[in-house]
Amino acid sequence: MHICVLGAGVIGVTTAHQLLQVGHQVTLIEAQAEPGRMTSYGNGAQLSYSYVAPLADPSVWSKWPYYLFSSESPLTLKPRLDPAQWSWLIKFLAASNVQQVKRTTIDLLQLAFFSRDKLAQLQSVKPLEFSYETSGKLVMFTDKAALESARKQVEFQAQYGCQQEVIDAKRCMELEPALAASKRQWAGGVYTASEEAGDCAQFCSQLLETMKPSPEFRFLPGSHVSEVNIKDHRLQAVSIGKESIEADSFVLAMGVDSTAFAHKLGFTLPVYPLKGYSITVPLAEDVGDAAPKVSITDLSRKIVYARLGNRLRVAGRVEILGMDRSIPQRAVDELVNGTRELFPGCGELSDSGSLSPWAGFRPATPTGLPIIGKSPVSNVFLNVGHGALGWTLACGSAALLAEMIAGRPTSINSQAYSYQ
């Protein structure tokens, strides 16, 4: 069967690879000149399989004034005259209850563990070079009450296969000596030894290279879909300039742009962009213990740090404000100041240009669950809405979708990810 995958971020590239592996002819279409150039390019780099709690949480009900008016809030909400934003926010609030969060966490954990296994399988066959590290993760807390709350979450997740430890500040410093130079007063942390990190954009490029030699694979970069041809509730073809691409089936994996494309096909997707920022700090050869080897999450600031060889990826913020692609200096300063506070000797932080400032849009559903499987159009399949977990969930989502397209029993329960 000929399947056309729309979008070559990490979700689209892994989907194309999985479909090619199981014997399909695959065409991969991407608007950018290279794969993984948009949301996949500068993300937080953490492969966070055990820390998947959704953004929707009961605490958001009491924090709205903070989100709306505080300049120090790591989550910024700017209401707009945008029906899509308000619709998403209403559904987000409806999902911010204890029972929904528990269900979502369980469903995300099973998909995350499946994805971890699929990436490990891929690496065992033909290892890719993308600054892949398996050095674990520390989520750091400055508040004792928040740490105790995290302990309850650890106990809950242990029922579903997570192996995590709640540890004191001293043990955190032993596991990651770079934290000793921090100017923060830590209460302790949650340590997950099995967590990983890697450069998502490099992974996309490397995986694409493994597909190019196949006569059953075609990559069309720099290609914008201008028209769609729908007949009898089926997508017959998409037009790229003067060329019409016909296929038996299509996979929509265009991140935040999937919403607009779905409208062309006559249905809606509950996906909204959550803007985030990152910098990438070049590390000196003699950096030693000044830069972390373990991935770090500063929970109170919502900033993550991931070591990528001789670079440190620093990412943070969640902004619900539409598709503003600008990178304000305050966002860069926030990440620079956070890095300087935690790891003051890790590298040169005064030159913003050398830090490769980046902004991207996480394609999020209100619940935090991705949408994987059939769409209202009979031959169009969905792999969208992974939010901040796209890198973490990519390999598993691709494998799950390939099973669904084949009509085979799925390796994990797929019902939670179906289009509603």
Q: Is 187 helix (H, G, I), strand (E, B) or coil?
A: coil
Q: What pLDDT is stored for residue 164 in this prediction?
A: 97
The dihedral through the CA atoms of 194, 197, 184, 387 has a sign that is negative
CA distance from start to end of the chain: 27
- Evaluate whether 249 touches 405 at the Cβ level (below 8 Å): yes
Say whether pLDDT at 63 is over 80: no
> Of the given ranges (71-75, 127-131, 298-302), which has the lowest mean pLDDT?
71-75
Model confidence at 59, pLDDT cuts 50, 70, 90, reads confident
Average pLDDT over residues 392-415: 97
Q: What pLDDT is stored for residue 69 in this prediction?
A: 65
Q: Is 361 helix (H, G, I), strand (E, B) or coil?
A: strand
Model confidence at 352, pLDDT cuts 50, 70, 90, reads confident
Q: How many CB atoms lie within 10 A of CB 189?
A: 28
Cα 371 to Cα 419: distance, rounded to the nearest angstrom: 6
Does the domain at 46-198+272-364 match CATH 3.40.50.300? Answer given as: no
335 to each of 41, 190, 358, how far by Cα in Å? 17, 22, 11
Best CA proximity match to 172, nearest among 185, 195, 153, 191: 191
Q: Which regions of the chain carry the CATH code 3.50.50.60?
A: 2-40+202-270+367-417
Cα 249 to Cα 236: distance, rounded to the nearest angstrom: 8
**Radius of gyration over every alpha carbon of the chain, rounded to an integer in angstroms:** 21
Q: Which CATH architecture has domain 2-40+202-270+367-417?
A: 3-Layer(bba) Sandwich (3.50)
Say whether pLDDT at 334 is over 80: yes
Q: What is the pTM of this model?
A: 0.96
Task: Give φ, ψ of 43 to 5 degrees.
Answer: -70, 180
Average pLDDT over residues 365-373: 98
Model confidence at 371, pLDDT cuts 50, 70, 90, reads very high
Q: What pLDDT is stored for residue 392 in this prediction?
A: 98
CA angle 232, 238, 240 (to 5 degrees): 160
Q: What pLDDT is stored for residue 252 in this prediction?
A: 98
Q: What pLDDT is stored for residue 350 in this prediction?
A: 86
Write the pLDDT tens digit of every residue in 130-187.
999 999 999 999 999 999 999 999 999 999 999 999 999 999 999 999 999 998 999 9
Say whether pLDDT at 212 is over 80: yes
Tokens read off for 253 = 């994996």
Tokens read off for 128 = 């890719």
Say whether pLDDT at 64 is over 80: no
Q: What pLDDT is stored for residue 309 in this prediction?
A: 95
Cα 157 to Cα 163: distance, rounded to the nearest angstrom: 8
Write the pLDDT tens digit of every residue in 253-296.
999 999 999 999 999 999 999 999 999 999 988 899 999 999 99
Q: What pLDDT is stored for residue 278 in this prediction?
A: 98
- Evaluate whether 260 touches 17 at the Cβ level (below 8 Å): no
- pLDDT averaged over the chain? 95
Average pLDDT over residues 32-40: 97
Q: What pLDDT is stored for residue 61 in this prediction?
A: 81
Model confidence at 341, pLDDT cuts 50, 70, 90, reads very high
Q: What pLDDT is stored for residue 353 in this prediction?
A: 84
144-158 and 98-125 helices, crossing angle to 10°: 70
Cα 27 to Cα 250: distance, rounded to the nearest angstrom: 9
Helix (H) or strand (E) run with residue 144 in it: helix 144-158
Say whether pLDDT at 76 is over 90: no
Q: How many CB atoms lie within 10 A of CB 72?
A: 7
Q: What pLDDT is stored for residue 68 in this prediction?
A: 67
- Evaluate whether 208 touches 214 at the Cβ level (below 8 Å): no
Write the pLDDT tens digit of every residue in 78-102.
888 899 999 999 999 999 999 999 9
Q: What is the DSSP letter of 336?
A: H
Q: Which regions of the chain carry the CATH code 3.30.9.10?
A: 46-198+272-364
Best CA proximity match to 176, nearest among 338, 294, 314, 290: 294
Share of the chain above pLDDT 90, in %: 90
